[in-house]
Amino acid sequence: MEGRGFAGTFYYCGTSGLDNCVASGDTFWHRKTRIVLADAVAPQTERAKCQAERDKGFAAKVRLKELLNAGTFDLVAPGMPVAASGSEFKVVLRNGRSLGTVLLNEGLAQPRTGERKGWCP
Residue 43 is predicted with a pLDDT of: 94
Domain range annotation of the chain: 3-105
Residue 110 is predicted with a pLDDT of: 94
- Alpha-carbon gap, residue 8 to 42, rounded angstroms: 22
8 A C-beta contact, residue 23 and residue 10: no
Full-model pTM: 0.90
Q: Is pLDDT above 60 for 33? A: yes
pLDDT in tens, 7-16: 889 999 986 5
Q: Name which of 36, 35, 57, 37 is nearest 46 in CA terms.
A: 57
Domain boundaries 3-105, CATH class: mainly beta
Residue 7 is predicted with a pLDDT of: 84
pLDDT in tens, 62-89: 999 999 999 999 999 887 766 667 788 9
What is the DSSP secondary-structure string of 27-45?
EEEETTEEEEETT-BPPPS
114: left (phi over 0), alpha (psi -120 to 50) or beta: left
Which of 5-9, 17-21, 90-94 has the highest mean predicted lDDT (pLDDT)? 90-94
